[in-house]
Amino acid sequence: MATNTKDRILDSAELLFAQQGIASTSLRAITDHADVNLASVNYHFQSKDALVQAVLNRRLNPINQKRMELLHALLHRPDGVPPTVEEILEAFYRPVTEEAIKTRREGRPIVALIGRMYTEPGELLASQIRAMMSQVAAGYLDALSIALPGIPPPILFWRLQFSVGVLAHTFGAMHLIEGLARGRVNVNDSEDVLRQMIAFAAGGLRSPVQ
């Protein structure tokens, strides 16, 4: 557990948001879990809305930064070999998967929050996500259009969104998938899940255009 109040609030808020949802999590539940005073939330974050933004920024900014780094590395390899669809997808999926692995190891299963935020209601949240995603989406769309020159851009746009959906749903509805699996698959083997997602999305991206 973090030692300073601000990080304790962020940690507890993130965990409870992931477990119960944002709207259903009260500031009192957060401050009780973090063992800090109720008023310290408004002191450090001004409002609950701002706290929500801070929680998401702290987790998503590193992920999206990593995505851009990995993509840049793929596009500027010393040998000049253009990246495959699978490599582009791995660059997009892996940073989230790594967070899933790390936070689960720490006993803080917060990846459901990452998967859920795309569909959380509220215009404030939506515009924040849109601002974060727009440059990442543009970069990956460019890369994919090079790797898949035969796919018209509008169709590639849809297929990138579908690839996002694969990731978001897998981590956002993991508890549901686990219940449906009845032991047929091991949902905790994140590396295997990553492999499965990449193979599926690669097949989807490459799917023949009627």
Partner DNA sequence: CCATTATTAAAACGGACGTTTGACTGAATG
Partner DNA sequence: CATTCAGTCAAACGTCCGTTTTAATAATGG
Structural contact between residues 60 and 10, judged by C-beta atoms closer than 8 angstroms = no
- Rounded to the nearest whole angstrom, what is the least distance from the CB of residue 120 to DNA in the complex? 15
| Burial of 182 (C-beta count, 10 Å sphere; 0-12/13-18/19+) | exposed
184 counts as binding a copy of itself under rule CB under 8 A: yes
* The one-letter amino acid at 78: P
Nearest to 38 by CA among 69, 12, 58: 12
- Rounded to the nearest whole angstrom, what is the least distance from the CB of residue 40 to a copy of itself in the complex? 24
Radius of gyration of the chain (CA): 19
Reading the block at residue 44, the tokens are: 């450090």
* The one-letter amino acid at 138: A
- Rounded to the nearest whole angstrom, what is the least distance from the CB of residue 146 to a copy of itself in the complex? 17
In the range 15-54, which residues lie near a copy of itself by CB under 8 A? Answer: 19-21, 23-24
Binding site for a copy of itself (CB under 8 A): 19-21, 23-24, 112, 115-116, 118-122, 126-127, 129-130, 133-134, 137, 153-155, 157-159, 161-162, 164-170, 172-173, 175-177, 179-181, 184-185, 193, 195-197, 199-210
Judged by the rule CB under 7 A, the positions of this chain that interact with DNA are 4-6, 25-29, 36-44, 46-49
